Amino acid sequence: MSHTDPFDFTGKVVLITGGSRGLGRAMALGFAGRGADIVVASRKQDACDVVADEIRTMGRVALAVGAHVGKWDDLKRLSDNAYDRFGRVDILINNAGMSPLAPSMVEVEEALFDKIVDVNFKGVYRLATLVGSRMAAGTGGSIINVSSIGSLLPSPYFGAYAGAKAAVNALTIALAREYAPKVRVNTIAPGGFLTDVAGDWAEDEEALRAVPLGRFGQPGEILTTAYYLASDASSFTTGALIRVDGGALHTK
């Protein structure tokens, strides 16, 4: 850790899923701005390419990999591509997710349920183990799983999503134990953030009243928590969950 800047990631390699938009894009550009080289992954290759080009204009190296996080073959290819290009991954951010709403829990069809679990939990499990095992066998690293305040304050409108994200919270603790002491694994649980993929809730006054800070978050406000967990500033922090949600009291 730099004594002048604890969040200097020069020479580090960061792999971010869901890195082409929303909080993932903010973190990809944020870490690049702090000196890191970035592996940008999301389902659409062209969207990854756009973000990777932005990172290259910042003077950093970027690798764009189109990969569906719900498919284990894609994740194996993603991991292999990252290690082939850079030789290591220092920081893994499992950010990709999907949160469809449903009128009631009984109306969630099996195909949608499986897709929610695949993207939000199964993919996190697989990529964290693929990369975490290699980190543990090498020089170590940090894994950050992006969960949701919905995992702690679940609503019937997104019951399957809340369950999948709660599984990520539990998985984080298991991973932290599995790969200690060389790898630290922690969770960020975001609340409502005003990203380019924010839904109708961004204009929902009832949802806003449940946030004591009186507003939703801006994408950049996730960065310092991610920097902290990725850096040696959090060298004695593993298996933790940090809420970044404006103090949310409930979800709709």
Give CA–CA dist 218/67, Å, rounded.
27
Average pLDDT value over all residues in the chain: 94
**Quick check: is 74 in a domain?**
yes
CATH of the domain at 158: 3.40.50.720
Residue 88 CA to residue 142 CA, distance in Å, equals 12
Expressed in angstroms, the distance from the first to the final Cα of the chain is: 41
Output the six-digit token pair for 75.
């994740």
Q: Cβ contacts of residue 121 below 8 Å, gap of 6+? A: 164, 165, 167, 168, 171
pLDDT bracket for residue 206 (50, 70, 90): confident
- Is the confidence at residue 203, as pLDDT, over 80? no
- 161 annotated active-site: yes
Residue 7: pLDDT above 70?
A: yes
Residue 70 placed within a domain: yes
**Given the residues 161, 179, 227, 228, the one annotated as active site:** 161
Residue 6 lies in a domain: no
Q: Which residue has the tokens 């090498």?
A: 138
Judged on CB neighbours under 10 Å (0-12, 13-18, 19+), 17 is buried
Residue 5 inside a domain? The answer is no
pLDDT tens-digit profile of 53-85?
Answer: 999 999 999 999 999 999 999 999 999 999 999
Task: Identify the pLDDT of residue 125.
Answer: 98
Number of domains in the chain: 1
Phi-psi region of 248 (alpha: psi -120 to 50; beta: other; left: phi over 0): beta
- What one-character-per-residue DSSP string does 21-36 give? SHHHHHHHHHHHHTT-
pTM given for the model: 0.95
Q: What is the pLDDT of residue 3?
A: 58
Assigned domain for 251 exists:
no
pLDDT confidence of 129, banded at 50, 70, 90?
very high
Q: Is residue 208 part of a domain?
A: yes
Q: Is residue 2 part of a domain?
A: no
Question: In which domain, by residue range, is 229 found?
Answer: 13-244
